[in-house]
Structures are given as C-alpha cells and as structure tokens.
Amino acid sequence: MIKRFFFERNNAIIGCMETIIEKIDKNQIDKEVIAKAGEILRRGGLVAFPTETVYGLGADALQEAAAKRTYEAKGRPSDNPLIVHIADYEDLKKVAVNIPAETDILAAHFWPGPLTMIFEKSGVVPYGTTGGLDTVAVRMPADPVARAVIRAAGGFVSAPSANTSGRPSPTTAGHVAEDLAGKIDMILDAGEVDIGLESTILDMTVDPPMILRPGAITAEMFEAVIGEVGVDETLLGDESNKAPKAPGMKYRHYAPKAQLIIVEGDLREEILAIRQLAYAAHRQGRKIGVIATNETVSFYNYGTVRNIGTRENEKTIARNLYRVLREFDEEDVEAIYSESFAVQGIGRAIMNRLEKAAGHTRVSASAVVKKQRYRRITFVSGSDSARGPMAAEILRHLDLKQEYVIDSRGMVVLFPEPANQKAEAIMKSARMTLADHTSRQFDEGNLQDDTLILTIDESEKNKIISEYGEHENVYTLNEFIGDTTAIPDPYGQPLAAYGKCYEVLNGLVIKLAEKINSFAEEE
C-alpha cells in the first residue's frame, strides 16, 4: 500500500514537489515500496532512507546530475563530497582502485556497519559525487532497509545525512521531513535509527590509515584489528588553523539555533557551573537550555533541562544527541549549556559532534564556578510541619543572588506527614504553598560543609549539638541574622496564631535573604 502525504508548507515556498512518505518495517520489508524507491533513484531522483547511523539522502552515486540535486536539496557546498553506499563487498572494486590489503580485514570486522573507508576512485565515479576529489568514500551499511534500497537502485547510492546542511543530522523520518519535505521525491520511515551519529571515516590512502571523523567504530576497535591508526588532529582542536582532512569537517555542522556552550571540568564542577549559569539566566529572565544526563538531571532546577542519556552507556547519549539539539530548536532558548564527556570510545565521536555544534565554544567549569559559602539552607523545627517549612517556602520566594537548595527538617518526626493545614492556609493567602511538603527527620547527613542549618528555636540547636557535637554551620535563625524577635509556636492554636507566626517568620527570613545576598557580593 502506498500512502501519500503532501507538505503544503514547503511546497508553497520551494515549488511543487510532492514528497512521498512510506512507513517501512525493517523486519518485513515491503518489496513494492523498495521497488518504487529503486525506480526513483535509477531515474536520478532523491530518496531518504534509514541507515543504522542517521537517515541518508540517497541518489544514484554514478549519475553526476543526481549528485547535483543532492547538493541543491541539502543546500550543501558542492566541495563537500558524498559517501558511496554499497550493499555487497564485491562492489567495492567497481568504485575504488589500489585497495590496500588491510581493507579485507577491516571489512570482515566492521562491514556491514558504521564505517566509511576512503580509497582512490575508479573511473565510474563522477567528480560530482566526490566533490572534485580523486578519492572516494565508501560504506556498506548494515540496516536492512538501506541495503534493499541500494540493491534496488543498482548498487551504488550516495547518501549524505538527510538534513538541511548545517542542521543536526536526522535520526527519525520526522526530522528528514522537517528539513526536506517538498524538496525530495521520497522518504522511507523505519522509525528511530540505532546509532544516531554519522559513520567513522577512515582514510585508507595513507599508511597507517587515519580517522578523519570519529564514530561508533572507535580508534580502540581499529587498533585491536589492524594495529595503530592515525587520528586527524583537527578533529577536536578549537581554533586550529589547519584544514581538516575530511572536507566536510571544516563546515560548522550539526548546529542548533541557540548558541551551544560546552562546560568542561570534573563532573561535580560542571554541574555547579551549569547550575550557577542557569540560575543567573533565570534571574535575568533569559531562557536557556541544559544538556544533562540520567545521572545528573535531578541536580538542575532552572532552564529547559534535557536528559540526553546515561553515562553508564554512552551509546544512549550518541543516539539522543541530534534529537535533543533539534528539540532545543523548538524551544526558543538563547543558549544551551552542555556537560562534557570523556574523549574515549564513542565519547570521542560525541564530543566531536558537540564541539562542532558549539562552534568550539567551551568554558572551563572551574573558571565560571563562583565560590559560594553555602549551597543548601536547611531550616530545623520540632516536627517539620509548620514553622520550618514556612520559613523555607518564604525564602524560596525571595530574590536570592545565588542559587540555594532550600529545605527543612524536624528533630522529632515519627513518620512523614504533610504540612499542618493551618500553616498551609496561611501560606496560600500569601500566594505560596506547602502542598509539596512532607516532614522529614533531621539526621547527621544534613550536617554538610556547604549546608547552613538554621533552627527555629534554641532547643533544636542544643539538641543537634548534644547529639552530633559542635558544628560551625549550625545557628538559630535569630542568631545568624543578629535578631532577637521571638518566633511564636502556633501549634494547637487558632488560625490567627499561624498568621502571627507567619508575619514574624517573614520579617526574619527577609533579613536572612539580605544577609546571604551580602555574601554573594563579597564572594
């Protein structure tokens, strides 16, 4: 069954090309759809199809005119060569000459798969496909849909990423349609790709072979098979004047609309730096994004935060990277701060793409992290059901120059309970709420070097000291701000008593905010 979709938005702008979009199941490939794709390609048309790396924009690699159309549809500079995709190893000999001996070993290990190798080109490959070069890049993809399309097209399909030049590469058919609907003949939709980053490019015309673009097949993996390989030094350098050896690598690829800034340091420092940057942006009313990981996402409270995958398995990060960058394009954030990843294994490819997306803008976490005397402020009351949570909520609503985690604990919390209802009623009338609060017992874990402990009454301070010893961060609220106003305990009394208590706490907490804001100026 062939279904057709029309993209009026794009048609109106660029003319009237109808883009056929076909769903296709990898496990049960519809031969009719593949035959149609093959026919379009043989005629010199453009078909986007899934590969295990990213979606490719297919054209017949042996037709000069088809290459030209590819460059036009992508808006890609024509000196940026295309990769020729084959489905059968014997076909390599038809497009490449002087193939070095290690090729067989590499192909045996990594083909079909996310590896592109560069050879001297044969006469059948037009210069249009190779961007005028005498070398040709060849890959044998593993994706069954890709292989079927290549065979149906006659065996040689050039397939750069199916995105508008300069946008993040497409990892879903939806991404392809966003960029190219109305400009190409067909899109085959087989869902989300597996790897999510473009193939590793290995130049076989030099000895030892050299990695020109890092990908899922890593330097470590090559070394295990053929011994040492070179790595193009320009791949991760910042303002290197040297031209990269892979022509495409000189362009600012993979770029989101917002400025992407990579924050580098040890992970703890990166988190602190990004938190501070995000908090500063929040106070200034600027919208920013944060690229976080499964392990760190809960540490960020401000900005649009995206979990890009788990550090335990960096393949998940590779798979999500371009989607996350595209999602940020939908949010109108003005800057995106990203954590960084170790440059080893697939991390090298992830950092390479991030660096390119960032146009090499990085900041050192330790250079941006401002010293902060306290990072957490914990109010301590008896039962953690009224005065402590009220003080915490009041402080959260004040304009603080630095970001603090603000919470509360009780010295006698027998079981977790919601906040006192009268306290909540008073807070609501002041347009705040304790609805998210659950009382928690104070314990030794609360006594951290970066935590300011403020007790409501003297008795809680004394109890902490008698149980855990003297601690320099433990004060009564009054003591810390140099005040003596008694904080009444409204427990068991009418609502009005809670109202009075609120008034007192509000005055003291405002003074507290002034005091901690004065630290921010000193620091």
Binding site for ligand AMP (CB under 6 A): 80-83, 118, 130, 133, 135-137, 160-161, 198, 201, 212, 246-249
Indicate which of Mg ion, ligand AMP, none lies near residue 136 (CB less than 5 to 8 Å, by partner kind).
Answer: ligand AMP
Minimum CB separation from ligand AMP for residue 161, in Å? 4
Angle, in degrees to the nearest 10, between helices 102-110 and 219-226: 130
Q: How far apart are CA 140 and CA 207, in angstroms?
A: 22
Nearer to ligand AMP, 130 or 293 (CB): 130
- CA 265 from chain centre, in angstroms, equals 17
Separation between Cα atoms, residue 255 and residue 293, nearest integer Å: 20
Nearer to ligand AMP, 346 or 477 (CB): 346
- Residue 133, binding choice from ligand AMP, Mg ion, none, Cβ under 5 to 8 Å by partner class: ligand AMP
- Tell me the residue nearest to Mg ion as measured from the CB: 161
Please give the radius of gyration of the chain, using alpha carbons only, rounded to the nearest integer.
Answer: 30
Give the shortest CB-246-to-ligand AMP separation in angstroms. Answer: 3
Min CB(191)–Mg ion separation in Å: 20
Shortest CB 82 distance to ligand AMP, Å = 6
Cβ at position 169, least distance to Mg ion in Å: 5
Task: Give the HSE-up count for residue 181: Cα atoms under 13 Å, Cβ half-sphere.
Answer: 19
C-beta separation of 119 from 98 below 8 A: yes
Closest residue to ligand AMP: CB criterion: 248
What does 246 bind: Mg ion, ligand AMP, none (CB cut-off 5 to 8 Å by kind)? ligand AMP
Q: Which is nearer to Mg ion, 147 or 167 (CB)?
A: 167
By CB under 5 A, is residue 116 in contact with Mg ion?
A: no
Closer Cβ to ligand AMP, 213 or 387, answer by number: 213
Instruction: Give the nearest distance from C-beta 194 to ligand AMP in angstroms.
Output: 16
**Shortest Cβ distance from residue 161 to Mg ion (Å)?**
3
- For Mg ion, the closer of residues 76 and 461 by Cβ is 76
Nearer to ligand AMP, 48 or 136 (CB): 136
**Residue 61 or 456 with smaller CB distance to ligand AMP:** 61
Residues 6+ apart with CB under 8 A from 381: 387, 388, 389, 408, 410, 411, 455, 456, 457, 460
With CB under 5 A as the contact rule, the residue among 19, 53, 158, 161 that binds Mg ion is 161
End-to-end CA distance of the chain: 68
Q: Is 199 in the site for Mg ion (CB under 5 A)?
A: no
Q: Which long-range contacts (CB under 8 A, 24 or more apart) does 508-512 make?
A: 508/391, 508/477, 508/478, 508/481, 508/483, 509/391, 509/394, 509/395, 509/398, 509/477, 510/398, 511/481, 511/483, 512/395, 512/454, 512/477, 512/480, 512/481
Residue 362 and residue 238 in contact, taking contact as beta carbons nearer than 8 Å: yes
Backbone φ, ψ for residue 372 (5° rounding): -140, 120
